[in-house]
Structures are given as structure tokens and as C-alpha cells.
Chain A
Amino acid sequence: GIQVEQSPPDLILQEGANSTLRCNFSDSVNNLQWFHQNPWGQLINLFYIPSGTKQNGRLSATTVATERYSLLYISSSQTTDSGVYFCAVMNYPKLIFGTGTRLQVFP
């Protein structure tokens, strides 16, 4: 089955710093989503991005489907960005989740 790997596993930042999270997947996909799991456990949709680049405020994402990776950029990080970031690819109809990147942002 499709393997999804995320890096780094843990990231500690000071408020205001920028970061890049990476997601590698082992096979071609036509659906990739990024989620933020906040400290209360809720899974928040960030991006649906099977290819190309999207931006939403301080967050942006790029997927290069031909090279089987996706990147999530967080600029000017805030303490509210803390939590776990998951990428998930669809092996229809199942979403296959990566193991996540745990981000901690300190003031």
C-alpha cells in the first residue's frame, strides 16, 4: 500500500519564526490533504492540494505530484499554530495518514 512519511517528527520554534514541513508519499495520488490537529484533538482541514500551490494567510502548501512530495510552509509562526500537522493521501476511498509533525511554538 501507499506509504506516507513526514518530516521532521518534531519541531520547536519561537514565535515569529518560519518553518517547512515535508510529506513524501510512495505512489502517485490524486488527493492530498493537510490537517492541523490542535491541542484539543480536533482535526482542522488546512489544504486540499493534489498538485500545485495554494496559500491561506500565513500558511501555504505546494505539492509536486510527479516527485511525490508535498510541503507545508508556516510563516511568522504563532503559539496558536502549535499541535500536530498531518498530511494524508487518498487510497480511494481511504485516507492514508502520515505519522505527523509535532510543532511547538513558544512566545
Chain B
Amino acid sequence: DAGVIQSPRHEVTEMGQEVTLRCKPISGHDYLFWYRQTMMRGLELLIYFNNNVPIDDSGMPEDRFSAKMPNASFSTLKIQPSEPRDSAVYFCATQGGRGPSYEQYFGPGTRLTVT
């Protein structure tokens, strides 16, 4: 398996623009997580899906952020409008199966810079 695939790897955009980050999970993994990594806050969970359904979005910072998972092979995280404080590395991770006894695997991340 190719692992978790994210695109783009790097994104530079201007404040106010819409940004869409993409993730392809490991085949057969039915949990998908979006994390954000910053120097100030470290790695924090934004939202997670189970079987394509959003379960907990309490980590999403504000309404400018939205996430979808239209099918088992694809998820997006959208920021509209983007702000400089959204600059961070965004990771997608997936996990196979229910419960705490499964490993999470991370994609390579998207480094977002908002100027």
C-alpha cells in the first residue's frame, strides 16, 4: 500500500483565498483524522470521520474550516477565507478498525503558508 497520500505538499496563498487540502486514506481503513501542527500548540486533532461520517469536529478552530469525506477514498479540508494564523502543517491520518488498539498512520502533511 502507498500509505496515506496528501496533496498538495506545499501551499502558499494570500490572506482571504480559499484553500483545499486533500487526503487519500489507506485502503480499508475506516477512520480518518485531520491534525494540525504548529510551534505554539504542537499536534492537535481538528476532526475525525468513521465510515465517511464526521464524528467529532470539536477541534475545528472556527467556521472558516470545513471537512468532507464524500467516499472511502477521499477527504478534503477547506479553509475559506484563509488567514495568516492558519499557517501550519496539516496532517491526515488513518486507522483501521474500531477502538484504541490500532495504530494511526500519518500522511506526509501539507505545509500551508498564508501571507
A contact residues vs B (CB 8 Å cutoff): 29-31, 33, 35, 41-43, 45, 48, 50, 86, 88, 90, 92-95, 97, 99-100
Contact B104 A95 (CB under 8 A): yes
Distance (whole angstroms) from the CB of B23 to the closest CB of chain A: 14
State the CA gap A60–B46 with chains docked (Å). 31
Chain B residues near A92: list those with CB within 8 A: 99-100
Enumerate chain B interface residues (CB-CB to A < 8 A). 31, 33, 42-43, 45, 48, 55-56, 89, 91, 93, 95, 99-106, 108-109, 111
- Using A86-B43, A97-B43 as known contacts, say yes or no to A45 and B109 having CB atoms under 8 A apart: no
How many A-B contacts if CB must be within 8 Å?
A: 47
- The answer for the CA separation of A99 and B45 in the assembled complex, in Å, is 15
**For the complex of A and B, 3 pairs with smallest distance between CB atoms:** A43-B106, A31-B100, A97-B43
What is the CA–CA distance of A88 and B91 in the complex, to the nearest angstrom? Answer: 15
| Contact A31-B43, Cβ < 8 Å, known A41-B109, A43-B91, A43-B106 | no
